[in-house]
Amino acid sequence: MQIVIPKETLPGETRVAASPDTVKKLCQQGHQVLVEHNAGLAATWSDQLYIDAGAAIATDTTQLYSSAALILKVNQPNTQEIDLFKPKSALVAQMNIHRFASLPALAAKEIDTYALELIPRITRGQSMDILSSQANIAGYRAVLLATHYFPRFMPMFMTAAGSVKPARVLILGAGVAGLQAIATAKRLGAIVEVFDVRPATREQVESLGAKFIEVELNDEERAAFEHTGGYAKEMSDDYKARQSALIAQQAAAADIIISTALIPGKPAPVLITPETVAAMKPGSVIIDLAVAAGGNCPLSRSDEVVKSANGVTIVGQANLPALVATDASSMFARNVLTFLGLVLNKEGQYAPQLDDEIIKATLVTHAGSIYFGSEAAPKAAAPAKPVVETVVAAAAITETV
């Protein structure tokens, strides 16, 4: 089968959907793999490494797609790429499906589209779970990014010149990114506190040495979390008011906030209000990992660093895994390779197991039809661009630097 690996077109993207290691395994299975020129260069993989793994290199994008039976991508295709896709081919990618408007164009070409972010949270899906593998990287990199902007040490220091208190880190959301952020911040010597709406995450948080803080739940709210599949959900206005008060109290004492809270298919919840930012200490840092879905802080901007009037730095880096391109690509590629076991048979032919739970969850276009329900989509983030620094007031922009 002809499998193609294009170079990613999303601005700022450095990852690639297949590594030389996974390409070698695909070639050993009898597939023909065609890699676009320099597709892996930003992840430190030259064309020669792919050639050594058994792939061929394509220098013409039109030719690349014209021969593709199966396309492997990190991100959703743009309209120009879709125009080049061969009818009745297959696409495997992270589609950012809740903010993707071109499913009808893919369906019109009878392309089988698999949205990897929809892989269900079941045991069998763990080795294919791109959200978890990339969130791990984002949580790790978020803490390191915070230390770059934080004007103090992270750990406690005892020196002849006196002692230095450890930084206090508040992490909002104890999913995969949040748990990795906890582990990284603890290794750097910080005092870590964690908030999550899901009471079941307490044990994981405390096992990493962090303090768990929570809003007291009533019986109805507690029962609601038994049917969320491990994801956070939209909460009542009463709960949100109690949550906002608790976070504001904790934020005032924090030096660094790492916010990771997302709700699948909906805008990210606002957890850090402008009023909360205004009450934080000068020199504090907020890393908003949810900025691509609207942000946990209304003052954060995609791929920008802003400063509040009271000296709080708010970082909205939308694609943190792209800053760790080699390992992020390796992990993504292994996820994809495992997933392909469900769509390719032992003879190397395209034969998706349509009754498989994972295929049912991820197949969003097939045989000219769309199989993904329409929902109110979060506002799409602006395309990635070089990070710039801006000064903002607590509620509005006042100056650019």
User: Mind telling me the catalytic residues?
Assistant: 121, 126, 129, 132, 231
CA distance 103 to 190: 45
CA distance 73 to 63: 17
Q: Which helix (H) or strand (E) holds 223?
A: helix 219-224
Torsion of CA 331, 332, 337, 342, to 10 degrees: 120
- The contacts of residue 338 (CB under 8 Å, 6+ apart) are 127, 128
CA distance 143 to 138: 9
CA distance 279 to 312: 10
* Cβ atoms within 10 Å, residue 274: 17
CA distance 143 to 147: 6
3-state secondary structure of 286: strand
**Percent helix / strand / coil, the chain, rounded to 5:** 40, 20, 45
